[in-house]
Each structure stands twice: as structure tokens, then as C-alpha cells.
């Protein structure tokens, strides 16, 4: 066999693409309009690949449970967590977060956990979606 890739390459023509076409099968001409249509229920999103269990996504913070011990600030490798002196609570800037979930491990009262939300792209790093408090 001289050219062993000929077979697989030919067969590929009859196979479905491996890639999951997210969010739409074909790139929309106007993304904002497409997203507005999705919001209005006119168009449908092509769902993303499901995240596995224990996925490390956006941090969820249970403010009531927090005792303000500052341990998460001590171990955070990115310096993404700020302490609010008055309230004795924390504020997490997700734009700096590296999703290592070390703060989840160290928390003595388990007030931090990780969700499976991963669509966190934003043009403003201080936007409401990227700050957990």
C-alpha cells in the first residue's frame, strides 16, 4: 500500500462531519439578528456538546453561608477574589478566574461550587455576568 490515506479520505465524503455545529449549522449573516430571533422563539439554537459531570464552569456563590474567612483569597492563583470589608463577603471577578476550583476545595463551609455554565465570553470584563458576589 503506497498511499494509505486515499481510502479514509474517500470514505470521509460519505460521513457526517465530526464537528458539532454550534450555535447554528450555517453561520448567520447577522449574528445579533439571529440571536434576537432565538430570543423571540423564531430560530432554534443548535445545542452545544453536553458537559460531563463535575465540569468546572462558572462559580456559584452562596452568600448566606459565607463566613468571610478569606481562605479562598489566600489560595486563589489568579487573584480573582476581592474581599468586601464592610460586608465581610467576597466578590469574584470571573474575567481573571482560571477555573481551577481550588477555592471550592478550601472553603470550610462549602459556600462555593461550580456550575456547568461555560458561555462566558464578553466584551466588558466587568460586566454583570462576569462578577459573582
Partner 1 sequence: MTDEKTTTKATYQIPIGPIHPALKEPVMFEFEISGEQIVDVDVQLGHIHRAIEWTGMRRNAIQIIYLAERICGICSFVHPMSFCRAVESACDIDVPERAHYLRVVHAELERICSHLLWAGVAAHEIGFDTVLFLTWEMREKALDLTEYLTGNRVTKAILTIGGVRRDVTADQLPKIKETLQYFKNNFEKLRHIFLDDKTFKMRSQGVGILTKEDALKLCTVGPTARASGIKKDTRVDQPYAAYGDLDMTYMTPDLLTGEVNGDVYDRIIARLLEVKQSIELIETALDQAPAGELVSEPKIPKLLAHIKKTAGEGVGRDEAPRGEVFHYVKFDGEHENPYTWKVRASTYNNILAWIPMLKGEQIADIPIVAASTDPCMSCTNRVIVIEKNNNKNYMLTKEQLHKLSVQKTRRLMR
| Interacting positions 11-70 with partner 1 (CB under 8 A) | 18, 52-56
Question: What is the distance between the alpha carbons of residues 92 and 81, in angstroms, rounded to a whole number?
Answer: 5
Candidates 62, 87, 105, 133; binder of partner 1 (CB under 8 A) is 105
Binding piece for partner 1, criterion CB under 8 A, among 30-38, 88-96, 100-108, 124-132:
100-108
**Helix or strand run (H / E) with residue 91:** strand 89-93
To partner 1, the closest distance from the beta carbon of 62 in angstroms equals 20
- Grid cell for residue 12: 470521509
Question: What is the distance between the alpha carbons of residues 97 and 81, in angstroms, rounded to a whole number?
Answer: 8
Question: Is residue 80 involved in binding partner 1 (CB under 8 A)?
Answer: no
Between 16 and 86, name the residue whose CB sits nearer to partner 1.
16
- Cα dihedral 44, 48, 54, 56 sign: negative
Question: Is residue 2 involved in binding partner 1 (CB under 8 A)?
Answer: yes
Between 76 and 111, name the residue whose CB sits nearer to partner 1.
76
Question: Is residue 1 involved in binding partner 1 (CB under 8 A)?
Answer: yes
For 34-59, give the secondary structure using H, E and C.
HHHHHHHCCCCCCCCCCCCCCCCCCE
Contact set with partner 1 (CB under 8 A)? 1-5, 8-9, 18, 52-56, 71, 74-78, 98-102, 105-106, 114
Amino acid at each position: 500500500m503506497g498511499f494509505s490515506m486515499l481510502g479514509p479520505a474517500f470514505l470521509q465524503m460519505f460521513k457526517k462531519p465530526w464537528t458539532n455545529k454550534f450555535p447554528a449549522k450555517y453561520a448567520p449573516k447577522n449574528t445579533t439578528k439571529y440571536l434576537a430571533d432565538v430570543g423571540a422563539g423564531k430560530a432554534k439554537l443548535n445545542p452545544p456538546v453536553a458537559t460531563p459531570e463535575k465540569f468546572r464552569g462558572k462559580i456559584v456563590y452562596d452568600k448566606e453561608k459565607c463566613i468571610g474567612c478569606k481562605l479562598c483569597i489566600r489560595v486563589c492563583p489568579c487573584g480573582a477574589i476581592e474581599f468586601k470589608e464592610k460586608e465581610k463577603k467576597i466578590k469574584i471577578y470571573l474575567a481573571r478566574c482560571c477555573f481551577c476550583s481550588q477555592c471550592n476545595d478550601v472553603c470550610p463551609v462549602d459556600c462555593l461550587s461550580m456550575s456547568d455554565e461555560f458561555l462566558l465570553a464578553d466584551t466588558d470584563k466587568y460586566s454583570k455576568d462576569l462578577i459573582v458576589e
